[in-house]
């Protein structure tokens, strides 16, 4: 066999090996053991499986096309270098498919852990409730997993995955150190806010407004420039406060309570606001949406933790400009009417009346007398009530952790039973129709 023939034979064998390994990528439904209550919702499971099936089918087609090209007259005339170039591109695509597979595998493997899997399933339900905005968009499935660190993160649905293709679900990474307490809702709702912002195109609708305010603003132009630079993270914080109330700001305090140098660090290329101003802004948003003395009290606590003294002159100047423009900026956020909301403002579509502190306090008292009512309430509302009770000292951290663990298990189990009941009625309905 000549050197050229041997080179092409070698590549043909490698292509067959790719097909063999590709065939061993079994669907998750055939390999991930988990309790039924820990499983993904069917819509999320199906979206992931269909996405990966399409990827495997497309890759298989590419491998077969490469094999056909090797056997063709063009392939016979091609140099080994050209054949190797084509195979290298093919193998890179194979590795990209494996990366996509591993992305979801990392998420699903925790579902096989007994308590953790069930609680993650409960967090999926909470995420869906926090994201829901009926009539304005079709929310994608959301799945959660735990990881190290103090901050959460999201890989939004309908964004490009490594190797190509749109992510079929939103994947939220939840910090393990927040399991289990009300602070987990703060992180979760913030990340869900990023997904909602993308669905409503809020960043693109707010940026022109903020750019316009920079012109002719003089010294305050710096503040409006920073608000515009940070707008993506601020919208996510706004969503968390609107859905959760004071629990969102308390959770944020837990995330950004860092050594003093970090709290006042002004890294202008960071999409996150200066931590000190970020907490102040979160509280000010809460006061605008849910007027109550608790916000000023919390602002005083935050300033006592990190008094703005002894700072560099430029830092003090920047903080002062941000504080001065903050009321006008919040007014823009609360009253913003993007095209996606068809004339309604953000505050109007977020059901803020249902989350006023007095309303949350009343619900907590009702639930103390009749705990069963809590289990029938929307999951996001439960976290809002618990966060308000914690802020007022009516619920201890121990009681909070215990009740949230029970709620997550209840939501996961109830969702599983609802899906099972739905599936059971389909054959019966078909039989009746027949």
HEC string of 335-387 equals HCCCHHHCCCCHHHHCCHHHHCHHHHHHHHHHHHHCCHHHHHCCHHHHHHHHH
With a threshold of 0.75, does the pTM exceed it?
Answer: yes
3-state helix, strand, coil in the chain (%, to 5): 75, 5, 25
Per DSSP, 166 falls in state: B
Q: Are 224 and 230 in contact (CB under 8 A)?
A: no
pLDDT tens, per residue, the chain with 434 residues: 688 888 888 888 988 888 888 887 777 666 666 667 888 888 888 888 888 888 888 888 999 999 999 999 999 999 999 999 999 998 888 888 888 888 788 778 888 887 888 899 999 999 999 999 999 999 999 999 988 877 789 999 989 887 678 899 999 998 887 777 768 899 999 999 999 999 999 999 999 999 999 988 888 999 999 999 999 999 999 999 999 999 999 999 989 999 999 999 987 778 999 999 999 999 999 999 999 999 999 999 999 999 999 999 999 999 999 999 999 999 999 999 999 999 999 999 988 999 999 999 999 999 999 999 999 999 999 999 999 999 999 999 999 999 999 999 999 989 888 876 776 665 554 555 54
DSSP state of 178: G
């Amino acid at each position: 066999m000549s050197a050229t023939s041997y080179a092409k034979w070698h590549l043909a064998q490698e292509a067959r090996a790719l097909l063999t390994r590709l065939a061993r990528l079994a669907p998750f439904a055939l390999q991930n053991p988990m309790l039924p209550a820990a499983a993904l919702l069917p819509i999320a499971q199906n979206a992931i499986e269909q996405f990966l099936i399409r990827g495997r089918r497309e890759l298989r087609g590419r491998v077969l096309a490469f094999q056909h090209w090797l056997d063709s007259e063009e392939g016979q005339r091609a140099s080994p270098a050209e054949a190797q170039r084509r195979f290298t591109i093919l193998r890179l695509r194979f590795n990209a498919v494996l990366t996509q597979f591993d992305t979801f595998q990392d998420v699903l493997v925790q579902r096989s852990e007994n308590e953790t899997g069930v609680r993650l399933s409960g967090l999926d339900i909470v995420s869906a409730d926090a994201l829901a905005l009926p009539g304005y968009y079709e929310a994608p499935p959301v799945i959660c997993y735990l990881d190290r660190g103090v901050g959460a993160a999201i890989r939004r649905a309908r964004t490009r995955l490594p190797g190509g293709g749109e992510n079929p679900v939103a994947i939220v990474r939840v910090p393990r150190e927040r399991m289990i307490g009300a602070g987990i809702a703060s992180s979760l709702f913030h990340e869900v806010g990023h997904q909602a912002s993308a669905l409503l195109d809020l960043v693109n609708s707010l940026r022109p407004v903020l750019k316009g305010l920079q012109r002719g603003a003089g010294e305050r132009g710096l503040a409006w420039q920073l608000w515009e630079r940070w707008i993506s993270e601020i919208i996510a914080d706004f969503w968390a406060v609107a859905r959760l109330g004071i629990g969102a700001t308390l959770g944020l305090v837990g995330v950004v309570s860092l050594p003093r140098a970090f709290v006042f660090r002004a890294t202008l290329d960071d999409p996150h606001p200066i931590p000190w101003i970020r907490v102040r802004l979160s509280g000010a948003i809460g006061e605008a949406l849910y007027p109550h003395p608790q916000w000023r009290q919390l602002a005083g606590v935050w300033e006592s933790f990190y008094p703005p003294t002894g700072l560099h002159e430029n830092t003090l100047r920047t903080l002062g400009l941000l504080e001065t423009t903050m009321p006008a900026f919040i007014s823009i956020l609360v009253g913003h009417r993007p095209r996606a909301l068809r004339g309604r403002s953000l505050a109007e579509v977020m059901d803020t009346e249902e989350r006023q502190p007095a309303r949350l306090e009343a619900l907590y008292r009702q639930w103390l007398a009749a705990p069963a009512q809590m289990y029938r309430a929307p999951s996001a509302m439960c976290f809002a009530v618990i966060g308000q009770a914690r802020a007022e000292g009516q619920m201890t951290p121990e009681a909070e952790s215990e009740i949230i663990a029970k709620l997550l298990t209840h939501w996961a189990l109830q969702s599983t039973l609802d899906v099972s009941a739905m599936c059971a009625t389909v054959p019966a309905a078909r039989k009746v129709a027949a």
